[in-house]
Amino acid sequence: MLDIKYLRENFAAVEKSLATRGGTIDLSGFTTLDQQRRELLSKGEVLKAEKNKVSAMIGQTKNKSLVQAEISSMKEVSAQIKDLDDQLREVEEQLNQLLMGVPNIPHEKSPIGLSEDDNVEVSSWGEKPNLDFPPKAHWDIGEDLGILDFERGSKLSGARFCVYFGAGARLERALINFMLDLHTQEHNYKETLPPFLVNRASMTGTGQLPKFENDLFHTEDVDLFLIPTAEVPVTNLHRDEILNEKDLPLCYTAYTPCFRKEAGSHGKDTRGLIRQHQFNKVELVKFVRPEDSDAELDALLKNAEKVLQLLGLPYRVVDLCTGDIGFSAARTFDIEVWLPGQQCYREISSCSTFRDFQARRASIRFRREGAKKPELVHTLNGSGLAVGRTLLAILENYQQKDGSVVIPEVLKPYMGGLEKIEK
């Protein structure tokens, strides 16, 4: 959520900046609603002040028959107050609905552009493997090795579900452990294992609700949602809290499955592991002081890159343009891994700063040493990494002519010393 005061005082500038996201972001109702709200508020407050004063007087009067006139006039005033409060509630609801639907203001350094074609490659790492045979796509590799079973996945659950077997299942588990160990032991993140179902307040805090309810799986008998990313439970850990400055930055890592309806991507990435309704991810989340957030985003990105470097997977980093940045984010770097089977780069991590956007929605603040007023923290998060996509990248990059897949060096201890996956 944007700062209502900032919006009021910089309306034109905000409108202009939001326009760089493309699409239509309608702020036209704001000024009127904001004025109505303040008028109703001050009218009501004058009456409340009077009511409070007279009621106190009545309270001090022993003989109530002397104040019958005041009592009955206050009855009238109370009715007026109730009426104003009702009007106010309605205006505030509209205003809130409008505000909750407004995306974050893009970072001043984000490249301006309308679509992913305008994203800017900022770096790349590694050598694309030089294969002397036609590379297979991971779904063929996985099925041929008997470690991925898409048919049974759809039998059990439907399209976009997959079953892992044997060394495939173990590889997924190995990757989760490898990533968690790296981030906790080398990068100083605190491991957390949060709930996979969360309530509306949590989904609203990070910005999935109210706008993107259609993308979420929802439970029928109780009002809970399956998390689409660990960002939601982990960021909401500190919802409605005031943190100590000396505890910042707070850095968490979490493994969770992620559940996404993928509404609106029918027909896209229908084969393979790229786009599943359920996938595993190791997430990185930070709570930082505002002045540190840019540097912390760089550090977060480096931590995610490290995973790919250790796994020996070639990748590039892309600075998302204003038109491609998600609703809550101010700036996002995507890491894209090279997939020989498809001869293209595909997103494997997304590292973002939300500045105070989520912190305002979720009321996550901190108090500076000796300061009186709490301030909003900045929140950041990034995938470190999407596990399913990492697994498929390994299958495609480490595939051999004979159909086997070599295990990357750093994963061997996690695979019980296994050198390669073969039939």
* Cβ at position 389, least distance to RNA in Å: 30
Identify the residue whose tokens are 């509404």.
Answer: 263
The DSSP output letter for 140 is H
Nearer to RNA, 95 or 386 (CB): 95
- The answer on whether 17 is annotated among ligand-binding residues is no
Could you list the active site residues? Answer: 260, 275, 347, 350, 389
Q: Which of 189, 204, 282 is nearest to 236 (CA)?
A: 204
Nearer to RNA, 136 or 365 (CB): 365
CB of 280 closer than 8 Å to CB of 152? no
Say if strands 278-288 and 250-259 run parallel, antiparallel, or are unpaired: antiparallel
Nearer to RNA, 43 or 412 (CB): 43
* Cβ at position 263, least distance to RNA in Å: 27
CA dist 260 → 213, 217, 229, 332, 334 (Å): 11, 7, 9, 20, 19
Nearer to RNA, 12 or 56 (CB): 56
Nearer to RNA, 81 or 282 (CB): 81
Residues of the shown chain interacting with RNA in the complex, contacts defined by CB under 7 A = 4-5, 38, 41-42, 44-46, 48-49, 51-56, 58-60, 64, 71, 74-75, 78, 82, 89, 242, 365, 369-370, 372-374
Nearer to RNA, 32 or 270 (CB): 32
Spacing of C-alpha 112 from chain mean position = 22
CB of 405 closer than 8 Å to CB of 420? yes
Q: Which of 301, 287, 303 is nearest to 184 (CA)?
A: 303
Q: List, in sequence order, every residue forming a beta bridge with 339; answer none if it has no partner.
A: 344
CA angle 376, 379, 381 (to 5 degrees): 175
* Cβ at position 197, least distance to RNA in Å: 11
Neighbours of 122 (CB within 10 A): 12
Nearer to RNA, 6 or 133 (CB): 6
Q: Which of 384, 357, 364 is nearest to 303 (CA)?
A: 384
CB of 106 closer than 8 Å to CB of 309? no
Burial 63-98 (b: 16+ CB within 10 A, else e): eeeebeebeeebeebeeebeebeebbeebeeebeeb
Q: Burial-class residue 4 by CB neighbours within 10 Å (0-12, 13-18, 19+).
A: middle
Q: Burial-class residue 353 by CB neighbours within 10 Å (0-12, 13-18, 19+).
A: buried
Q: Burial-class residue 158 by CB neighbours within 10 Å (0-12, 13-18, 19+).
A: exposed
- The answer on whether 10 is annotated among ligand-binding residues is no
CB of 391 closer than 8 Å to CB of 171? yes
At 227, the amino acid letter reads: I
Binding residues for ATP: 260-262, 347-350
Binding residues for L-serine: 229-231, 260, 283, 381, 383
